Amino acid sequence: MTIEEAQQQVDQWIKTVGVRYFNELTNTAVLMEEVGELARLMARTYGEQSFKESDKNRDLGDEMADVLWVLICLANQTGVDLTTALKKNFEKKNMRDATRHKSNEKLK
């Protein structure tokens, strides 16, 4: 699935199953909630926190997909073509960071 197809499929799902998009501010808050759930699982899986019983059946990929889903919702609502935005972001990073990381002593 391409990013464009994902944006189209999320839009179709929202309009047929989800009734309508939550407003942009609500979806921003939902995005923060989803990022928090992902961070919690990362801290327990790769960090030093121990798992609580309620965390044990969580799936890392599913948590990441939840974040992506809401981000796609926000892109759709605000008219952002994520494919174009990501391409531009790569261009920016390639120009700005062409030698930055290679010359970073902390990364060697």
What six digits make up the tokens of 70?
A: 């809401």
Question: Please, what is the Cα angle at 104 between 103 and 108, to 5 degrees?
Answer: 100
> In terms of pLDDT, which residue wins out, 95 or 5?
5
Angle at 75 between CA 18 and CA 93, to 5 degrees: 150
Please report the pLDDT score of residue 61 as a whole number: 97
Please work out, in degrees rounded to the nearest 5, the angle formed at the alpha carbon of residue 67 by the alpha carbons of 22 and 91: 105
Condensed to tens digits (0 to 9), the pLDDT of residues 42-101 reads 999 999 988 888 888 899 999 999 999 999 999 999 999 999 999 999 999 998 888 888
So what's the pLDDT on residue 75?
A: 98
Burial of 96 (0-12, 13-18, 19+ CB in 10 A): exposed
Give the pTM.
0.89
Distance of CA 69 to the CA centre of its chain: 7
At the top level of CATH, which class does the domain 3-81 belong to? mainly alpha
pLDDT at residue 107 in the model = 85
Give the domain ranges of the chain.
Answer: 3-81
The answer to whether residues 66 and 37 touch, using CB atoms and an 8 Å cutoff, is: yes
